[in-house]
Amino acid sequence: MGLPPYICPNPPPPRGSHIGQLLGVSAYLLSRIFPAALTSVLVLAVIYKLCGINHLDGLADFGDGVVAHGSLEKKVAAMKDVNLGTGGVAFIIMILIANYAIINSMPQILLPLALLVAEVSAKQSMIAFAAFSTSLHKGFGQIMIDKTGNREFLIGLAISVAAIYFALGPLGLAMLAASQLAAIYLIVVAKRNFGGATGDGIGAANEICRAVALAAAFTLGGVLPWMRW
């Protein structure tokens, strides 16, 4: 499964900023009405309402392929199988639980901006994954991978750094750095398991790197400065 053409080749960081702003406002309003546990569930619902589940589906396919045994061809076949397998279920459950736990534990004053920065970081991670990968087969994923290189990565990174530093200062940059390292690791995983990258890998990068960025915010929020006022 690939990515829809409207995200190709290279608008993810601005798109992530717009989505992140909506998520931040939603989280702020919800936290004023509901307890933390329910707010966390509702924030997750808002994330997938705004972003759709295409990337989550990519994560599931990616997970099916990664846990499959056998040759590269068998792993690719498992990833392309339209039926949801155990690996896909496990990956989805883990990412949802991780997001819920982090959002539920995040200080309310930090959560809105952390969601904004995490979304920008996730979209920049998609660019990083595409820019430094080799496409495996034809599809929407191939379009993004083939049209994304060093130039697109650097442009996206510059936009992301500016937006993120304005929002959360050094903490935001640490979130971005963590997400980019996670994207690089996923490139290695895709190469080792499939011999290349697909749209499913790009979707997986979005989901996993969002969680990594949020985890960095929670872990480092008490260490790095982030209040801009």
Tens digits of residue pLDDT in 87-144: 999 999 999 999 999 999 999 999 999 999 999 999 999 999 999 998 887 666 677 8
Distance CA 7, CA 155 (A): 16
Q: Is the dihedral of CA 87, 39, 211, 127 positive or negative?
A: positive
pLDDT score for 7: 38
Q: Per-block average pLDDT, block size 10, for the chain (229 residues)?
A: 38 76 93 95 95 92 94 92 92 97 94 96 95 80 82 94 94 97 97 92 96 96 65
Q: What one-character-per-residue DSSP string does 211-226 give?
A: HHHHHHHHHHTTTS--
| Angle formed at CA 148 by CA 142 and CA 152, multiple of 5 degrees | 165
For position 16, what pLDDT does the model report? 78
Average pLDDT, the chain: 89
